Each structure stands twice: as structure tokens, then as C-alpha cells.
Amino acid sequence: MQTSSTVPLRLRFFSAVLTGLMLCLFSPAHARPASGFVSVKDGRFIDPEGRHLLLHGINIVSKNRQGNYQPRVTEKDFEQLRAWGWNCIRFGVSWDGLEPEINRFDEAYLEKLDGWIALAKQYGFYVFLDMHQDLFNHKYGNGAPDWATLDDGMPHLRGAIWSDAYMISPAVQTVFDNFWANKPCADGVGVQDHFAAAWKKLAERYKDEPAVIAYDLFNEPNIGSGNAAIILEVLNAYVSNTDKLAEGDKPLTLDEVMQPNPQRNLRSVLAKQMQNLELYQALLDAAAPLCVDFESTRLTAMFQRVRDAIRSVDQNHIIFLETNISANMGVPTGVQPLVDETGQRDPLLAYAPHAYDIVVDTHDLELAFNGRLELIFRRHAESGKRLDMPVLIGEWGAFGRGSAGILPSARFTVAMMEKYLMSNTYWDYSYGLNDSPCHEIFERPIARNTSGILLSCATDFEKGSFECRWKEDPTIKAPTCIFLPERMAPYLDAICVAPAGTGWSVTRPYENSAAAVIEIPAAGGQEERTFFIAPPETD
């Protein structure tokens, strides 16, 4: 995601609905990780002790080329993230930083990456590496090195905000078209082949590092020149479905929708119209056929090429597959499994889409609509089930410092991720999160490690309560571990575990911490157990 506080709703929606979904990844059937690594089983992340693992974390991504793509965070930031109960970091890698010259990998950049991973490990975080890009290259946004940016001399056009370029820039569209076609670079080797080699370099370096759990292959892949056809389908669907508008709602004209700098009140009108879920879904579904075709052909082929390069050196790490930007908003995904050389599914795969309401990055965050969010998360959950992969929402939120008006939407987003037991990494780490009106959703209870299968969990922010339910696996000896934030410290005595078993104990995530990790020893059977905590009732 590119940070922008002025993204027009018209662009964010139609640009999103024009870019499609993505595909989930699979690794070879013989590629089982060594002991000590996070793995995948039956649609769940599994920790080294065999427990169901929920990942709850944040994005740390630098797009600053002048600073060689090094994030402006310190050890104190890692201390704070640990205090909030996060256990995972989506760490941005820049191909431009990694391989600034063709076939020359920057060892200094890699050593810096080593240092960030070591620091994360020191503070108890899992890390997955995100090959980040927005608009492909630093000339337009960030991502690939110049030598891999094959724009054929086409001009670059900028719109009112950064993502307009996906729709209007001949240079950006050409670069993506050439990437999907694996056009040769100056040395005669295809640009995708170079990209796969860059991933192989990373995988070879970290193949034995258990703190690194996964590789997120490509941030928000874009279809390129195919955007125009998708936008046309969406606009036609809007015109064809204006009868679905509520009585008194005036349909927007084509000129109004497509004007380059729509007024804020026009964006608000569109956001409110899209509260009609029948209309909203019709627009999403109009984009789906072209998006699915892109994903099932060009995108899948690229992911497969990268997967093969990684698996030639690394059998230990999970591969994360994203969707393109359209699925962020709820366009159905057509991603398919990746396979090994014998055609068997790769077992170390996870589905890692992003989830944003159409008002993200605008001044209209308070117009976020729970109905749209429910559709987005439901479709991601359905895709995860179809693919039989764990789901990690790689980006969500982007609330910034915001206002108190966005808190209901933030709470609902958490409720959706809890409902579907989704792991997640919030977008993104920035100063001021401590003062955000949404801070409570960052520092919240998490059923991190479950000695069996986690069945449900729910936080009630109004009541200050949390509960979860799980079915124990008698073969797992490690305890269930539940993180409770500092604000719950005053009523730890109110914890109820049923059946009680041998009780529970409190450990601290670090010295002098007021937060708590509740450890519940396994009872040794296959029974269902529940955990509940709430503040004592007052008269």
C-alpha cells in the first residue's frame, strides 16, 4: 500500500476494482520444514510445538531510496511493539535495494536486513519478508531497480494521487505488461527470471532461520494495460444497476465519476451509494472475470516461477500469496495452488490478501461501512477455505492518527478477523499510534498459541472482555498461551477457564511488564475448553 491521505474515493474504488485478485501458493509435497519452523496444517499456522498459531503484527516498510530503504525505527520501537502484544512483523524488502545493478546483490543491504531480523528475533517476533512495490519503480513509486524497469520509453503520467498512474500512465502499464511477459533485460535474461533469482538469493540466506517464517512474493500485483478493460466493465455495471439505488439517490454521471479531481462531497456520495450491497457486489463481480483470467494465467505463472526458485534452496519456509489490489475491496479471487515438479500441491502455502474499505486513504474514513467490510472478509475467508490455506490479512487499517469517528469501523474489522480466526499485520507502523483513537485495537487480547484447534475468539471492547474456545489435542504438551494487554491487569483474578484442569499461571512477556501471558497447561484429553475474562461488575 502507498501512503496517501488524499486518495479520491473514485480512484481508490475503481482502481482497486480494476486490478483484481491473486493467487495462493503451494509448495512441494516433499517440502516439509525442519523442526523449529512455523508450518501449515489443515488451513492453520502451526508453531514449532505443534500448537495452532495466530499471528498478530504490523508492517514495517521503508520506501525511502535515499536512505537505502532502511526503516526509521529503533530498538525502543521494538520494545513498544512487544509491549502491545504483537508477535509478527511484515518487513518490507526492496528489490532496488537488494539488487541495484544487474546480477549484483548489495551485501551491505543484506547485512542491514540481517540486523533487522536479529533485532526482531531478540524481541520475540516472527518475521515474513515482503517484496514491496507501488507502481513498480522509484521513478513512479517504489520497488524494482531501474535495470528491471522496462518501460519502452513510454511517458509517465501522474494523477491527482499516486495510484491514478495505474490507470493513466503508459510507462507504468508498459512496465507491468513487460514484467508479466518476462521480457528480457539487457543481459538477455527475462525480468521475471531475475526477480525469481532475487528471491532465491534471499531464500538461500535465510533458509535456516526459524525467526523468518515466510516469503510474501509480490505486494499488490497489478494487471498493467488490462486496467482499462476492467474499469469499463465496472462503469458499465454501475450504469446498468442504477435502479438498485435507494429512492431519492441520484445516479452519478460518467463525467462525474471519471473527472480527475472529484470534490470531496462527490466521493462521499459514492461512498454512501456503495452502502447498497447489491449494487456494490454487482460492481465487484463485473470486474471478476478479467481479474480471475489475469490471476490464473500471468500471475500464477510468475508465482510458480518464483516458488520453483525458492524451493531449489529452501524447504523450510511458507510462501505467502497475495491478490492484486481489486480483491482488497472484495472482488472474488481466482488464485490457484502452486505445485512441485510432480504436479503435487506445495504444502507450505498461505493466503495473504489485503482488506480495505473503499474509503481508505481518503478524508472520508468515518464513512467506512460495515456491510462492505463484512463482504470483503467473508470472501477472503471463503477463498482461504477453498484453497485449504491459513489466511493472513497482510494489510488492513491504515487509520493513521485519524479521529474517534473511525473507531467503530476499526472494532468491526477486528471482529471480522476474530470471527474467521485470521492472522494479520496492520498497515503500518508510524509514530503517533500510541495517541491514535484506535489504540485499543492494536493492544488487544490474542489467543497466540493453542494446544489444539482454536474454535472461536471474541473481544468486546465496550465491556472490556475477551473469550476464546478451543479443542485440545492430547499429543501437544505445550500450554495454551493467551496475551492480555496492560489494561486488563487489574482483573486477572476474574479469569475463568473451563474445564479448569490444573489451573493457569501468569507469565510476563518481559521484565517489569504489566501485560500478561496466561499459560493454560494441556489437560491431556480432546475436550473443548473455554477462557473468559471480564472486569468485575460494579453496582
**Beta carbons of 238 and 232 less than 8 angstroms apart:** no
Report pLDDT for 267.
73
Pairwise CA distance, residues 66 & 64, whole Å: 6
Report pLDDT for 423.
99
- Classified as helix, coil or strand, 45 is strand
Phi/psi zone of residue 150: left (φ > 0), alpha (ψ -120 to 50 degrees), beta?
A: beta
The 10s digit of each residue's pLDDT in 319-332 is 999 999 899 999 99
pLDDT at 246 over 50: yes
**Quick one: which H or E segment has residue 332?**
none
To the question of domain 9-444 being in CATH 3.20.20.80, the answer is yes
Q: Which residue has the higher pLDDT, 433 or 87?
A: 87
Band (28; pLDDT cuts 50, 70, 90): very low
HEC sequence for 435-495: HCCCHHHHCCCEEEEECEEEEEEEEECCCCEEEEEEEECCCCCCCEEEEECHHHHHHHHHC
The three cell numbers of residue 114 are 540481517
Cis amide bond preceding 493, omega within 30? no
The 10s digit of each residue's pLDDT in 150-163 is 999 999 999 867 78
**Beta carbons of 221 and 157 less than 8 angstroms apart:** no
Pairwise CA distance, residues 532 & 102, whole Å: 56
User: In sequence order, what DSSP letters do the residues of 345-390 get, joined into one string?
Assistant: BPSSEEE--EE--TTTTSTTGGG--HHHHHHHHHHHHHHHHHHT--
Q: Which residue has the higher pLDDT, 264 or 243?
A: 243
Domain regions of the chain by residue span: 9-444, 445-539
pLDDT at 475 over 50: yes
The 10s digit of each residue's pLDDT in 280-320 is 999 999 999 999 999 999 999 999 999 999 999 999 999 99
Strand extents, DSSP E, 188-304: 212-216
The 10s digit of each residue's pLDDT in 369-406 is 999 999 999 999 999 999 999 999 999 999 987 789 99
Pairwise CA distance, residues 121 & 199, whole Å: 21
Pairwise CA distance, residues 468 & 530, whole Å: 6
Sign of the CA dihedral running 124, 129, 133, 134: negative
Sign of the CA dihedral running 146, 148, 150, 151: negative
**Quick one: which H or E segment has residue 126?**
strand 126-131
pLDDT, averaged across the chain:
92
Band (2; pLDDT cuts 50, 70, 90): low
Q: 269 vs 191, 235, 286, CA distance in Å?
A: 43, 16, 21
What is the third-level CATH fold of 445-539?
Immunoglobulin-like (2.60.40)
Pairwise CA distance, residues 321 & 351, whole Å: 5
pLDDT at 129 over 80: yes
